[in-house]
Amino acid sequence: MARKAIKYKTTQPPKFAVRKYNRCPLCGRVHGYMRRFNMCRCCFRKLAREGKIPGVVKSSW
């Protein structure tokens, strides 16, 4: 229920503009969000490994 309430809360416009924060649309994570890809680092890593993000390749050392 808590996650459902948080997801609903994010759809509402904030009372003040500075209270807006980015949330991953796939898993709902707040921290580790990458604006360029519009997802958190966990989802980015998973999708990049599967090759579902075009132009992203795993770097090797």
Judge whether 42 is annotated as a binding position.
Answer: no
Provide the mean pLDDT of the chain: 88
Mean pLDDT of 38-54: 93
The CATH superfamily assigned to 1-8+20-53 is Ribosomal Protein S14/S29 (4.10.830.10)
What's the CA gap between 41 and 20, in Å, rounded?
19
Whole-model pTM: value is: 0.70
Does the pLDDT at position 61 exceed 70? no
Judge whether 27 is annotated as a binding position.
Answer: yes
Domain assignments of the chain as residue spans, ordered by start: 1-8+20-53
Q: Tell me: the pLDDT tens digits for 4-19? A: 887 788 788 888 989 8
Question: Considering only CA atoms, which of 9, 38, 39 is closest in space to residue 27?
Answer: 39
Does the pLDDT at position 28 exceed 80? yes
Quickly tell me which residue has 């075009």 as its tokens. 54
Question: DSSP string covering the chain, please?
Answer: -HHHHHHHHHHSPPSSGGG-----TTT---TTEETTTTEEHHHHHHHHHHT-STT------
Does the pLDDT at position 42 exceed 90? yes
